[in-house]
Amino acid sequence: MRILLAVPTFEHIQNEVFQSIYDLDKCGHEVDFKYITGHDCARARNIIADLAIGGGYDYVMMVDSDTVIPKDALKNLLDPADDIVLGCCPRKNTKKKEFPLSPVTCLDMKQSLTIDDLQGTDRIELNVGGCACVLIRTEVFYDLLYPYFKYDIRDDGSILSEDYYFCQMAISSGYKVWVDPRVKCGHLARYYQYE
């Protein structure tokens, strides 16, 4: 299987993040690394999606420039091989028991997940989720309108983030979005790190 592992960033990759990518168990798959810089996150993610399509990759794995991934992240994201699977990543500026995931909500769109929801190994189906660590089957992009990621300004002036936009568009096209509790990432410059 061919996988594009890419980092969307405006500036640079944190050293710890690069080390975790370097240490990643590739499980015998062909994994190519790309670093997309100088763009906002939405534009960088769209460039990565285009590279995955143009390069004939089976999957694209995106890791944010401040997200440390576990060595077995790819193995667990591929087991089972779903269309869109997020890793668990602490949300910005949260303490251990408070909403430890980068913004994710369960199917009822009201419940935010806490660390207590991440016991066991069963995946949880989501309505939206932050894509600090995500594995996407490249074929998903064939069914979505371009741009796949964009900041969506709502009528009330609020802004839907580029990853929420992607999740909502994918779900409206019939795909499911999952979070895998086995893939516990670290978020640099955040209060909480998974142990």
- 63, part of any domain: yes
Yes or no: say if 68 and 133 are a contact pair by the CB < 8 Å rule.
no
Model confidence at 192, pLDDT cuts 50, 70, 90, reads: very low
Identity of the residue numbered 146 = Y
Yes or no: say if 34 and 5 are a contact pair by the CB < 8 Å rule.
yes
Yes or no: say if 180 and 73 are a contact pair by the CB < 8 Å rule.
no
Yes or no: say if 98 and 107 are a contact pair by the CB < 8 Å rule.
no
pTM of this structure = 0.88
Between 35 and 124, where is the model more confident? 35
Is residue 194's pLDDT more than 70? no
Mean pLDDT of 147-175: 91
- The full DSSP string for 170-189 is HHHTT--EEEEEEEE-EETT
Q: Which pLDDT belongs to residue 108?
A: 46
Between 5 and 191, where is the model more confident? 5
- 194, part of any domain: no
Domain count across the chain: 1
What whole-number distance in Å separates Cα of residue 170 and Cα of residue 49?
A: 14
Mean pLDDT of 118-123: 75
Tokens encoding 165:
């936009």
- 195, part of any domain: no
In this predicted structure, which of 17-26, 54-63, 119-128 has the lowest mean pLDDT?
Answer: 119-128
Q: Which pLDDT belongs to residue 189?
A: 62
Nearest one of 108, 91, 88 to 183, comparing CA atoms: 88
- 193, part of any domain: no
What whole-number distance in Å separates Cα of residue 171 and Cα of residue 182?
A: 23
Q: Tell me the CATH number at 30.
A: 3.90.550.40
43: containing domain: 2-187
What whole-number distance in Å separates Cα of residue 27 and Cα of residue 113?
A: 29
Q: Which pLDDT belongs to residue 99?
A: 38
Nearest one of 11, 52, 56, 17 to 190, comparing CA atoms: 17
Give the model confidence (pLDDT) of 50-84 as tens digits.
Answer: 999 999 999 999 999 989 999 999 999 999 999 99
